[in-house]
Amino acid sequence: MDLGILAFGGYLPQSRLQRTEIAKMHGWYNPGLKGLAKGERAIANWDEDAITMAVEAARDCLKGQDRSSISAVFMASTSFPFEDRQNAGVVAEALNLKSQLMTLDLAASQRAGSSGLSVALQAANGSGAPILFTASEQRQTKAASPQEMTYGDGAAAVLVGKGDVVARFIGAHTESADFVDHFRGSGHEYDYAWEERWLRDEGYLKIVPAAINAVLEKTGIAAGDITTFCFPAAMKRVAGMLAKKAGLNETAVADNLQATCGETGAAHPVVMLVHALETANPGDRMLVTGFGQGCDALIFEVTDAIKTLAPRTAISGHLARRRADSNYARFLTVNGLVTMEEGIRAEVDKQTGLSTHYRNRDMAQRMIGGCCKECGTLQFPKSNVCVNPNCGAIGTQEDHAFADKKARLNSFTSDRLTYSPDPPAHYGMIQFEDGGRLMADFTDIDPDQDLQVGMAMKLMFRVKDHDKNRGFRRYFWKATPDNDDQGTAPAEAAE
Amino acid sequence: MASGIRDKVAILGMGCSRFGERWSDNAEDLMIEAFTEALGDAGIEKNQIDAAWLGTAIEEQHVGKSAVPLSMALRLPNIPVTRVENYCASGSEAFRGAVYAVAAGAADIALALGVEKLKDTGYGGLPQRNRGSVNDLFWANVSAPGSFAQLASAYQAKHGIDAGDLKRAMAHISVKSHDNGSRNPKAHLRNRIDEDKVLNAPIIAEPLGLFDCCGVSDGSACAIVTTPEIAKSLGKHDLITVKALQLAASNGLEAQHNSWDGSHFVTTRKCAERAYKEAGISNPRDQISLFEVHDCFSITELVTMEDLFISPEGGAVKDIMDGFYDADGKVPCQIDGGLKCFGHPIGASGLRMIYEMYLQLQGRAGDRQRKEEPVFGMTHNLGGFPHQNVCSLAIVGKMGA
């Protein structure tokens, strides 16, 4: 049986900050930014972080897949929301995976994504069971820095293991070097960077070719047979220079997504890989690199199975699920780069009872409700007594997962009174097509989209509350218009 | 059905503080203001009261927990005092406690007092609070206007009503309440407004604008109740008695079961059926003289008039625009200004509604007195959110009517 990628998925936040807006704001201060002021970058909403984006990428990846066979969830990032609480564990819970599972965070280098993928493949080879690998990044940048222009937020996920793989793993090699082009010290929020020309000449152009040459030699693949070269760096022309240096075809250089997304850090090798897989043909050979204190190089060969994989949103779909955002002030606000007057209503203590949180984790993190064995009524949350007025049976409810259920909008409002980091707060009642309902917070509401009773909605995993006093954040599911499923008749009310 | 409360208990006296931004007064001052009026009206001594009920909801904001704040404020002689809380129906709950104690023979004379001191939060609107550690895990981040505003979207969709028509009917409700409140010396808001002002006001929660929302006030209201026999023995005649007291609490159906469409109140409909039956009223549209309903938001009043079976389903917009509920209309609703303009000190509101009915039925309502002699007055209180609430109804009327 082949070892490789069984499925893939991606996620990019909906909002795309226009780089011209950043330059417009900071041109007086740093005119040099104008040179980078082209295109747009994906920016996380206030209720998104590396965990929520990893969950969405993983949900995309697992479309049509058997979740029960997954043996491990790995998450790679340098922007984990938690330094001490396993981030991959939150992802696994949100995906409603079984508890007989290894979860692991991979961090502390831009290479976390590519090295993590390597490790996941090795582990899956050993255990024989599929491993879900996610890479996700929400990188904090200082206002008016070049990084603010080039970085982006996003995530990707791959299911690796043995079997009917869509891309066979051919081999990998890692060059390790404590080459510090930038760093972020413990307790510091932002990256500190050294000169770009040095990074290019002493870093990229020396370390990356060494890794590429080694992996080609190790796998016996000719440089000219590589059809796709994923080099995840924003710097212009470097990928082309590297290709030339390593003897790769010029046409193999993959789009680094700088124009449409921005560089998603440790996630970017996997984001680019997923983007390439979306349009790959059987026989394509993909060379994926990741740079950071050395370089990883991995080679995959696309198989016939790629043609049979269920449709998914992946990176292209999320690039299309876009909203041009020219509100730079909001970007500053939700990233905490400016102190806004939030009003007294924001002072409500958001402390989470950790015992309550644990006891209710199936409801709050896995979106598990109940299905009454007596009458079949679905309900959320799961409760002791069936809510169906014609039933009322006690203790009859079995677990029922709601996260992927289609829903319709029943009632809604946009609220300017309640505190929201991004007012107005949108919320309303959604009704699941098979039964059950939720008074839900909404997220990613496009100001130009009219909400309508009866329209299709779906759930996304998001930050429910930030507890700023204690650094905790709580997650729950929020509703957003399901733009892929509009235009059909509103659901009939059950009964 | 049980025999009900009809004519078993009479209102001996009532009092109500001025509602509003009572910056220089605390909750104790407001309680004394309402109580002093009620005691004088009843014509009894404090030590004739056998038991008391205190209705207050957001006690963190003023008096603190338990019944002791009432007992201390009034210096009651160590009689039984019970604090009740049922969202915005807390005042009605206090009334229920006192009325039932008298009906049961457990007390000859009982006191119900509701109070709320809301203007010490530092902002307008109700205090923002946690909803309990489990609810906070999954409840939407709703405010009161936001949760009630959703009635409009569901009502509009259900009845195919034009958004502009609905918004104008809502505006008519607010204009009417301001007109009525302008004639009420105890009302919080006494300014008159016009429809344009309502329609052009800043949005609080779509589609509710500033003038679609009731005031948040400090205030207190109070009732002293007894049996009709004792009332007569104390020299009272033309008694106002309790005809019906009903309460309905959501059981989670609205929040969890798809049979509710979000456009009306399940609890109000169930509660109304029981209240009319208890009071012996078969045709409420013709028989009820006056309504005080829980107009926390204009859309709430609109759908409530259907839930109480006064306007036909989908017909409230027409009745409202026809002036049916105006002070000089067929059946006035909020003749005292309502929550909208009299104000909404949560724990006092239910008792304030009954206070207005009591005055109107006795012909003592001053400038706003309804000329046609009212016979039955109905009050309606809602606590909570449309999808999870408590409805409290009271019908009071002339003894024997």
The per-residue pLDDT for range A189-226, each reduced to its tens digit, is 999 999 999 999 999 999 999 999 999 999 999 999 99
Residue type at A232?
Answer: P
Residue A363: closest CA among chain B residues belongs to which residue?
B138
| A231 vs B130: which has the higher pLDDT | A231
Give dist(CA B387, CA B150) in Å, integer: 10
For every residue of B146-168, DSSP letters joined together read: HHHHHHHHHHHHHHT--HHHHHH
Rounded CA-CA distance B295/B174 in Å is 9
Put simply, the chain A residues between 408 and 447 with a CB less than 8 A from any chain B CB are 410-420, 424-425, 427-429, 431-432, 435-441
pLDDT of B302 strictly over 60: yes
pLDDT per position as a tens digit, B168-217: 999 999 999 999 999 999 999 999 999 999 999 999 999 999 999 998 99
pLDDT (mean) for A315-322: 97
Coil, strand or helix: which one is A466? strand
Return all residues near B225 (Cβ < 8 A) that are at least 6 apart. Answer: B9, B10, B11, B12, B95, B98, B99, B102, B109, B110, B111, B112, B242
- How many whole angstroms separate alpha carbon B167 and alpha carbon B174? 11
Q: Average pLDDT, stretch A315-334?
A: 96
Provide the token pair at A58.
């993983």
How many angstroms separate the CA atoms of B372 and B290, rounded? 11
pLDDT computed for residue B344 by the predictor: 96
- Judge residue B155's burial from the number of C-beta atoms within 10 Å of its C-beta, 0-12 exposed, 13-18 middle, 19 or more buried: buried
> B352 is written with which tokens?
């304030």
What's the rounded Cα separation, in Å, for the pair A270 and A265? Answer: 10
Task: For residue A363, give every residue at least 6 positions away whose Cβ sits within 8 Å of its Cβ, in sequence order, or none.
Answer: A369, A380, A381, A382, B137, B138
Q: What is the pLDDT of residue A1?
A: 87
List Cβ neighbours of A414 (8 Å cut-off, separation of 6 or more).
Answer: A424, A425, A426, A445, B203, B205, B206
CA A92/CA A72 separation, integer angstroms: 9
Residue B130 pLDDT greater than 90, yes or no:
no
Look up residue A333 and give its amino acid. T
The kind and range of the H/E element at B245 are strand B240-249
d(CA B300, CA B264): 9
- Percent of chain B at pLDDT exceeding 90: 93
Q: Which of A486, A435, A480 is nearest to A457 (CA)?
A: A480
Mutation target to probe the A interface, by most A beta carbons within 10 A, among B118, B136, B147 is B136
Active site includes B222?
Answer: no
CA distances from B267 to A353, A440, B383 (A): 32, 22, 11
How many whole angstroms separate alpha carbon A483 and alpha carbon A56?
Answer: 16
C-alpha distance from residue A90 to each of A367, A476, B81, B137, B212 (Å): 13, 11, 49, 15, 42
Cβ–Cβ contact B313 with A under 8 A: no
Q: Cβ of B137 and A474 within 8 Å?
A: yes
Spell out a b/e string for B226-237, using b for 16 or more CB atoms within 10 Å of the CB, else e: bbbebbeebebe
Cross-chain CB nearest to A344 (options B122, B156, B256): B122
Structure confidence at residue B61 (pLDDT): 74
* pLDDT > 70? residue A94: yes
B256 touches chain A (CB under 8 A): yes
Spatial distance between the Cα atoms of A247 and A212, rounded to a whole number of angstroms: 10
Contact A494, A408 (CB under 8 A): no
- Closest CA–CA distance from residue A280 to any residue of chain B (Å): 41
pLDDT tens digits for B53-106?
Answer: 999 999 877 889 999 999 999 999 999 999 999 999 999 999 999 999 999 999
Q: In a 10 Å sphere around its CB, with 0-12 CB exposed, 13-18 middle and 19+ buried, how is residue A29 labelled?
A: exposed
- Give the residue ranges of DSSP H helices in A321-459: 328-334, 354-359, 361-364
Strands (E), A28-94: 40-43, 72-76
Q: Give the count of alpha carbons within 13 A of B147, CB side only.
A: 20
Q: Catalytic site residue B344? A: yes
Whether the predicted pLDDT of A488 surpasses 70: no
pTM of the model: 0.95
Contact B67, B373 (CB under 8 A): no
A298 pairs with which residues across the strands? A172, A288
ipTM higher than 0.90?
A: yes
pLDDT bracket for residue A487 (50, 70, 90): low
Q: What is the pLDDT of residue A267?
A: 98
Average pLDDT estimate for A325-332: 96
| Chain A residues closer than 8 Å to B156 by CB | 453
User: Closest by alpha carbon to A15, among A190, A156, A136, A152?
Assistant: A152
Would you state the pLDDT for residue A236? Answer: 86
Element containing residue B263 per DSSP (H, E): none
368-387 in chain A: CB under 8 A from chain B:
377, 379-381, 383, 387
Check whether the bond before A424 is cis (ω within 30° of 0): yes
Q: Which residue of A has its CA nearest to B250?
A: A387
Q: CB-CB: which of B146, B150, B252 is closest to A418?
A: B146
User: In this predicted model, what pLDDT tens digit does every residue of A397-451 receive, in sequence order?
Assistant: 999 999 999 999 999 999 999 999 999 999 999 999 999 999 999 999 998 889 9
Side-chain-side CA neighbours of A239 within 13 Å: the count stands at 25
For residue A226, what are the contacts with CB-CB under 8 A and spacing of at least 6?
Answer: A216, A248, A249, A252, A285, A286, A287, A299
Residue A13 neighbours by CB under 8 Å, 6+ apart: A42, A43, A44, A45, A48, A53, A153, A154
Under the banding of pLDDT at 50, 70 and 90, the label for residue A495 is: very low
Residue type (1 letter), A277: L
The average pLDDT across B217-224 equals 97
Unique residue bearing structure tokens 């028509």: B165
d(CA B367, CA B99): 30
Q: How far apart are CA A410 and CA A126, in angstroms?
A: 49
d(CA A241, CA A236): 10
Confidence of residue A494 (pLDDT cuts 50, 70, 90): very low
For chain A, give the longest Cα–Cα distance: 74
| Residue A490: predicted pLDDT | 45
Side by side, the strands of the sheet bearing A40-43 are A40-43, A15-18, A323-325
DSSP B297: B
Report the C-alpha gap between B25 and A458 in whole angstroms.
Answer: 50
CB-based contact (8 Å) between A449 and chain B?
no
- With a cut of 80, say whether residue A491 has pLDDT above it: no
